[in-house]
């Protein structure tokens, strides 16, 4: 049984992580940290967590903690990951992994040097819907993929994570917050890498210095053209569609974890097959997989290099947003992070 400490125990821990740990088979939460110790003690009492700390560094030094799950605001990820690595603790970092690709590089290199397992919490990699899209595409059910479309929007005007509207804390708006999920899922499903990135977006009176909505287009190396639509203003949507030269795979609620997903296969304008899947175990699978990797029973499928790779693409999207120009993913960048599919 691998014992986790959650650094930055906030809304995400309450809504997603603790329900996931409740369903996990080989790990549990034994420690948490929050900057406000009164809130930290309240959270610990609510969930029966025995060890409470005010910082990630203190949590990482706890002898009862086998692994650290970093869920602090994005600006804190670099220092928190390095603190866990310095304590020789395996660390699973929430997405986006850093504020920029250089921060991700520092994390990856520090973990490699210390011989410490570093993973990034791209939970869509553990969803049944994502797995089935990947499997069915690889099986040739829709032929060669021509177009791909992934969306993730939610009404964020009154969101508790107010730092999402501060670029110096979040690194960006919905492109960084949920666009990274879509980009990572497309890379995983298509088993391909983008070579060109273009982004357009808009702000509004509530969005601070980040985008409120954006469209990111990706041209993949094997020719697939993809769009990623994200917003903190539109109502909640997570559709996914891959259009090939012989058919299309689609699902209206592809990435959600609350309800069953109907994955549809279309050919010649007709619905020819339908499959129902559920993602309710995604968060449990994520932490159980990391626990298994710590024990040497399997390889964690989303190592830090994947978070670094995603951040290169986020950086390109924000450069495009600022410049109005398409960004090419340079060969040196493509070869930098080790790839894992």
- The reply to whether 194 and 85 lie within a common domain is no
82 and 139 part of one domain: no
**Do residues 262 and 276 lie in contact, with contact meaning Cβ atoms separated by under 8 Å?**
yes
pLDDT of residue 156: 82
CATH number where 50 lies? 3.40.50.720
Q: What is the pLDDT of residue 25?
A: 97
Q: Does residue 26 lie within any of the structural domains?
A: yes
* Pair of tokens at residue 277: 């899947």
In a domain, 341, yes or no: no
How far apart CA 251 and CA 4 sit, in angstroms, is 34
Q: Is residue 340 part of a domain?
A: no
- Assess whether 100 and 138 both reside in one domain: no
The reply to whether 232 and 158 lie within a common domain is yes
Mean pLDDT of 103-116: 98
341 has pLDDT over 50 = no
> What values do phi and psi take at 337, rounded to 5?
-65, 140
Q: Give the pLDDT mean for 88-103.
A: 98
| pLDDT of the residue at 330 | 74
| Distances in whole angstroms, Cα of residue 135 to Cα of each of 141, 142, 202 | 9, 11, 35
pLDDT in tens, 150-199: 999 999 876 666 767 789 999 999 999 999 999 999 999 999 999 999 99
109 in any annotated domain = yes
* Averaged pLDDT, 62-70: 98
pLDDT for residue 208: 85
Instruction: Please give the pLDDT value at position 331.
Output: 55
Pair 69, 115 in one domain? yes
Answer yes or no: do 142 and 273 share one domain.
Answer: yes
Return the pLDDT at 159. 64
132 with 244, same domain: the answer is yes
Question: What b/e readout covers 304-341, taking b as 16+ CB neighbours within 10 angstroms?
Answer: bbbbbbbbbbbbbbbebbeeeeebebeeebbebbeeee
Question: What percent of the chain has pLDDT above 70?
Answer: 95
Host domain of residue 225: 128-278+311-335
Q: At residue 339, does pLDDT exceed 50?
A: no
Residue 337: pLDDT above 70? no
Q: How many domains does the chain have?
A: 2
Measured on CA atoms in the order 269, 275, 276, 281, is the torsion positive or negative?
negative
Q: For residues 331 and 173, which has the higher predicted lDDT (pLDDT)?
A: 173
Planar angle of CA 62, 21, 185, nearest 5 degrees: 110
The DSSP annotation for 175-206 comes to: IIIIIHHHHHHHHHHHT--EEEEEEEEE--TT
Reply yes or no on whether the pLDDT at 94 is more than 80: yes
The radius of gyration of the chain's CA atoms, rounded to the nearest angstrom, is 19
How far is Cα 38 from Cα 331, in angstroms, rounded to an integer? 49
What's the token pair of residue 39?
């809130």
pLDDT at position 251 over 70: yes
pLDDT mean over 48-69: 98
Same domain, 118 and 242: no
Tell me, what's the pLDDT at 213?
97
Looking at the structure, do residues 320 and 249 belong to the same domain, yes or no?
A: yes
When the pLDDT of each residue in the chain is averaged and rounded to a whole number, the result is: 95
Tell whether 89 and 163 lie within a shared domain: no
Quote the CA–CA distance of 178 and 105 in Å, as a whole number: 21
Confidence band, pLDDT 50/70/90 cuts, at residue 335? very low
Q: How far apart are CA 129 and CA 260, in angstroms?
A: 9
* Same domain membership, residue 292 and residue 178: no
137 and 61 together in one domain: no
Would the pLDDT of 40 be above 70?
yes
19-23, 86-90, 127-131, 206-210: least confident range:
206-210
Please state, as a whole number, how many other Cβ atoms lie within 10 Å of the Cβ of residue 296: 8
Q: Is the pLDDT of residue 332 over 50?
A: no
Where do runs of H (alpha helix) occur along 115-258? 128-138, 167-170, 174, 180-190
Gap between the Cα atoms of 233 and 183, Å rounded: 20
Q: Are 235 and 153 in contact (CB under 8 A)?
A: yes
Residue 154 lies in a domain: yes
Q: Residue 266 belongs to a domain with what CATH number? A: 3.30.360.10
């Amino acid at each position: 049984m691998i014992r986790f400490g959650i650094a930055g125990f906030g809304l995400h821990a309450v809504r997603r992580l603790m329900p996931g740990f409740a369903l996990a088979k080989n790990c549990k939460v034994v420690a948490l940290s929050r900057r406000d110790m009164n809130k930290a003690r309240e959270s610990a009492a609510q969930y029966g967590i025995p060890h409470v700390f005010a910082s990630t560094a203190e949590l990482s030094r706890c002898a009862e903690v086998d692994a650290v799950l970093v869920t602090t605001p994005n600006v804190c990820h670099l220092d928190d990951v390095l603190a866990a690595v310095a304590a020789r603790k395996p660390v699973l970092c929430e997405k986006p992994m850093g504020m920029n690709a250089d921060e991700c590089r520092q994390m990856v290199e520090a973990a490699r040097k210390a011989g410490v397992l570093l993973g990034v919490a791209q939970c869509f990699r553990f969803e049944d819907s994502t797995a089935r899209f990947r499997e069915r595409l690889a099986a040739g059910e829709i032929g060669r993929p021509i177009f791909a479309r992934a969306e993730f929007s939610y009404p964020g005007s009154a969101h508790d994570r107010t730092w999402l509207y501060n670029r110096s804390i979040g690194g960006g708006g919905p492109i960084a917050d949920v666009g990274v999920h879509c980009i990572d899922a497309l890379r995983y499903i298509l088993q391909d890498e983008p070579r060109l990135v273009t982004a357009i977006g808009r702000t509004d009176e509530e969005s601070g210095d980040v985008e409120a909505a954006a469209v990111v287009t990706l041209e993949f190396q094997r020719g697939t053209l993809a769009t990623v639509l994200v917003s903190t203003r539109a109502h909640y949507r997570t559709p996914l569609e891959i259009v090939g030269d012989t058919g299309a795979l689609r699902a209206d609620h592809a990435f959600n974890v609350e309800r069953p997903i109907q994955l549809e296969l279309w050919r010649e304008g007709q619905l020819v097959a339908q499959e129902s899947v559920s993602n309710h175990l995604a968060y449990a699978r994520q932490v159980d997989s990391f626990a298994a990797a710590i024990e040497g029973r399997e390889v964690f499928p989303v190592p830090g290099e994947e978070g670094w790779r995603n951040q290169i693409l986020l950086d390109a999207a924000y450069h495009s947003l600022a410049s109005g120009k398409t960004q090419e993913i340079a060969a040196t960048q493509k070869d930098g992070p080790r790839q894992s599919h």
